[in-house]
Amino acid sequence: MRRYTRKHHSSLILLAVISIAAASAIVVFKVSKGLSWHYLASPWTWTSSLGGPFSSRHAIDKRKEKAKEYINLERIWNDESVKRRGKHRDGSLEMVEADLAKARALIRDASLNPSNRSTLELPDSDYVPQGNIYSNPHAFHRSYLLMEKMFKIFVYEEGEPPLFHYGSCKDIYSMEGLFMSLMEQDTRYRTWDPNEAHVYFLPFSVVMILKHLFDPIIRDKAVMERTVVDYVGIISNKYPFWNRSIGVDHFMLSCHDWGPRATWYVKELYYNSIRVLCNANTSEYFNPKKDASFPEINLVTGEITNLTAHLTPSNRSILAFFAGNLYHGKIRALVFKHWKGKDNGIQIYEKLPVGVSYSEMMKKSRFCLCPSGHEVASPRIVEAIYAECVPVIISQNYVLPFSDVLRWESFSIQIAVSEIANLKKILMGISEERYDRMVENVRKVQNHFLVNDPPKRYDVFNMIIHSVWLRRLNVRIYS
Ligand SMILES: *[C@@H]1O[C@H](CO)[C@@H](O)[C@H](O)[C@H]1NC(C)=O
Ligand SMILES: *[C@@H]1O[C@H](CO)[C@@H](O)[C@H](O)[C@H]1NC(C)=O
Ligand SMILES: *[C@@H]1O[C@H](CO)[C@@H](O)[C@H](O)[C@H]1NC(C)=O
Ligand SMILES: *[C@@H]1O[C@H](CO)[C@@H](O)[C@H](O)[C@H]1NC(C)=O
Ligand SMILES: *[C@@H]1O[C@H](CO)[C@@H](O)[C@H](O)[C@H]1NC(C)=O
């Protein structure tokens, strides 16, 4: 099996200056490996802005206009050189791919013909996604049910806790540890037969690697490099799956600020694999077509009960609220400069006065400000959703969690950094009617951000799995 040559390295790195360009570069390279991309569920194709949702052909035509070298599915199918390359048939891969092809067709059908009886009559005992919080509730529902029925994840057993198969379930990076441990227990999607898997999970915890191996005085970042490079080396030598797809059907997950960096040391992991990250910064080459964004949830004590309060309709007397460190990136500094102590309606604190509770303040506010800090993700977004306070997201280059499925504009406000000075005007301009609808939608999406152990249908764990499922559906691997 080929490795990347040096030439590929440098051209990829150069092109990666613009993430879109990087995506097409990978695609071109992968075509020569016998892979094709469907792009059926990326944020840009699942909305109607690019024509029919799920119309992968259409999306590809669009992209072809931008990048001449972009692939055309038909050409790959008929390309003799690709066919000949499949020397020995890989029967299990063909079966996996046939399943995925069936799923794609069904999802596309649900998306294009929502009134088709077979879509309307999908059995679901406890929840049917509907309403404008979803880009396409029918497609999502069909896709979710298919995921439950079919999706199989193989977790490599190599690696010992605490660096592997384990993580901390407390504090700001809790979702990383929670996912690891739920993945260990939750058998719904797990398979112990790697031949029937659709995706392969690399269960290393960036938080744990840094906690145990990173010396804050010596600051040798190579510990992360050694661990990740060794791990991929082990699984790619022992099993055929990594080499077979050059990592495309493998995923890692990290909530740590250094999550993206941890993948940098293995170029296939960085450019090909599905990276599930809290720190979903497109300026750091986060590529929403193959990578997935998941929410940062600050579980202060690790307790997951009573995360949401059932609020009686109260009078939210504060227009907008924020509490947090000022010295935490440029965006925060701007928020403080324009609004701290300037207006009674907009309450900005570095430290809350004694006796004032953070969560009570959120419950008394109409809008909760969620500016990016050192990293694009902010735990305040989910805190606001829990408190039924409409999140005001102030960030740049941030791909919001589950934005392939959820319409964030239906339950949050996004304000450009250049508009921070107009914050009050913008918030005051939102009609009472629109505000009420947004609060109602915030309540509706809460479910998708809740942590449960064991997981419950449509909760945050299942939504993360669904994000991985969609990205796997985006690509076809030839044997
Ligand atoms: C309705 O859905 C079924 C199953 O997905 C499909 O076989 C059928 O062709 C669809 N009918 C129409 C009119 O699209
Ligand atoms: C995968 O490729 C690497 C590098 O070419 C090679 O060392 C390794 O043996 C291959 N793994 C398998 C299982 O063939
Ligand atoms: C959750 O909240 C309810 C109602 O306030 C309370 O009765 C219950 O004890 C709380 N549970 C936990 C585990 O804190
Ligand atoms: C809400 O406002 C009304 C009228 O201003 C007031 O009578 C009521 O006590 C307030 N309720 C709460 C929970 O603050
Ligand atoms: C996103 O990444 C870019 C490039 O590394 C960086 O300059 C920017 O600060 C990041 N954004 C945040 C909020 O960290």
Could you read off the pLDDT of 290-335 as tens digits, one per residue? Answer: 999 999 999 988 888 888 876 766 689 999 999 999 888 999 999 9
Q: How many CB atoms lie within 10 A of CB 173?
A: 28
Residue 16's pLDDT band, with cuts at 50, 70 and 90, is: very low
Quote helix, strand, coil % in the chain, to nearest 5: 45, 10, 40
Asked whether 314 lines ligand 4 (CB < 6 A), one says yes
Instruction: Tell whether ligand 3 has an atom less than 6 A from the beta carbon of residue 418.
Output: no
The whole-number pLDDT of residue 36 equals 52
What's the pLDDT at 162? 94
Residues with CB under 6 A from ligand 5: 281, 283-284, 329, 372, 374-376, 397
Residue 274, CA distances (Å) to 86, 158, 246, 282, 421 in order: 24, 19, 12, 14, 38
- Residue 323 has a pLDDT of 96
| Token pair for 288 | 């929403």
Which residue in 356, 354, 382, 355 sits closest to 368, CA to CA? Answer: 382
Tell me what percent of the residues of the chain surpass a pLDDT of 70: 80
* Residue 310 Cα to ligand 3 middle (Å): 11
Q: Which residues pair with 368 in a beta bridge?
A: 321, 391
Give 154 Cα–ligand 4 centroid separation in angstroms: 54
Q: How far is the CA of 237 from the centre of ligand 2 (A)?
A: 5
Q: Measuring from atom 13 of ligand 1, which residue has the nearest CA?
A: 116
Residue ID of nearest Cα to ligand 5 atom 3: 283
Residue 116 alpha carbon, nearest atom of ligand 1 = 1
Q: Are 100 and 198 in contact (CB under 8 A)?
A: yes
Q: CA nearest 260: which of 244, 231, 283, 242?
A: 283
Whether residue 387 contacts residue 398, with contact meaning beta carbons closer than 8 Å, is answered with no
Ligand 2 centroid vs 435 CA: distance in angstroms? 56
Tokens coding 443: 């309540």
Distance 15 CA to ligand 2 centre (A): 27
Average of per-residue pLDDT across 141-146? 94
Q: What pLDDT was estimated at residue 64?
A: 36
Q: Domain locations in the chain?
A: 1-87, 151-302+455-479, 318-449
C-alpha to C-alpha distance for 368 and 392, rounded to whole angstroms: 6
Q: What is the mean pLDDT of residues 354-370?
A: 94
Phi-psi region of 397 (alpha: psi -120 to 50; beta: other; left: phi over 0): left
Provide the pLDDT confidence category of residue 120 given band limits of 50, 70 and 90.
low
Q: Which residue has the higher pLDDT, 407 or 124?
A: 407
What distance in angstroms lies between residue 315's CA and the mean position of ligand 4's atoms?
A: 6
Express each pLDDT in 239-276 by its tens digit. Answer: 999 999 999 999 999 999 999 999 999 999 999 999 99
Q: Render 331-370 in DSSP notation, one character per residue.
A: HHHHHHHHHTTT-TTEEEESSPPTT--HHHHHHHEEEEEE
pLDDT value of position 56: 36
Strand-pair category, 318-323 with 346-349: parallel
Q: Is the CB of 120 under 6 A from ligand 1?
A: no
Query: For the ranges 34-43, 183-192, 373-382, which has the lowest average pLDDT?
Result: 34-43
Which ligand 1 atom lies nearest to the CA of residue 118?
Answer: 2
> Once rounded to an integer, what is the mean pLDDT over residues 182-190?
90
- Ligand number nearest to the C-alpha of 19: 5
Measured CA to CA, the distance from residue 12 to residue 268 in angstroms comes to 11
Number of the ligand closest to the Cα of 305: 3
Using a 6 Å cutoff on CB, does residue 125 contact ligand 3?
Answer: no
Residue 114's Cβ-side half-sphere holds a number of Cα atoms within 13 Å equal to 13
Output the furthest CA–CA distance in the chain (Å, rounded). 72
Instruction: Identify the residue whose C-alpha is closest to ligand 5 atom 8.
Output: 283
312 lines ligand 4 (CB under 6 A): no
Determine whether the shortest distance from the Cβ of 161 to ligand 2 is under 6 A: no
What integer is the mean pLDDT of 21-26?
Answer: 31
Ligand 1 atom nearest residue 117's Cα: 1
Closest CA to ligand 5's atom 5: 284
User: What pLDDT sits at residue 332?
Assistant: 95
Question: Structure tokens of 447?
Answer: 């479910």
Nearest listed ligand to the Cα of residue 121? 1
Q: What is the mean pLDDT of residues 37-59?
A: 33
Task: Give the containing element (helix H, strand E) for 6.
Answer: helix 6-15
Categorize the per-residue pLDDT at 136 as very low, low, confident or very high, splitting at 50, 70 and 90: very high
Closest by alpha carbon to 389, among 414, 366, 407?
A: 366
- Of the listed ranges 88-92, 106-110, 171-175, the one predicted with least confidence: 88-92
CA 261 vs CA 124, 159, 275, 284, 370: distances in Å: 40, 20, 11, 9, 24
Stretch (H or E) spanning 64: helix 56-66
Quote the pLDDT of residue 11: 29
C-beta of 106 in contact with ligand 1 (< 6 A)? yes
Q: Using the mean position of ligand 2's atoms as its centre, give its distance from the Cα of residue 1 in Å.
A: 7
pLDDT at 473 over 80: yes
- Which residues face 3 on adjacent strands? none
d(CA 142, CA 150): 12
The chain-wide mean pLDDT, for the chain, equals 82
Ligand 4 pocket mutation pick from 315, 317, 363, 366 by most atoms within 8 angstroms of CB? 315
478 has pLDDT over 90: no
Q: Which CATH architecture has domain 318-449?
A: 3-Layer(aba) Sandwich (3.40)
Q: Residue 384 — φ and ψ, nearest 5°?
A: -65, -45
Residue 384 has pLDDT above 70, yes or no: yes
Segment 133-159 mean pLDDT? 95
pLDDT at 275: 98
For residues 20-44, give the mean pLDDT. 38
3-state secondary structure of 24: helix
pLDDT of residue 122: 72
Could you tell me if the CB of 306 is within 6 A of ligand 3?
A: yes
The residue ranking higher by pLDDT, 428 or 6, is 428
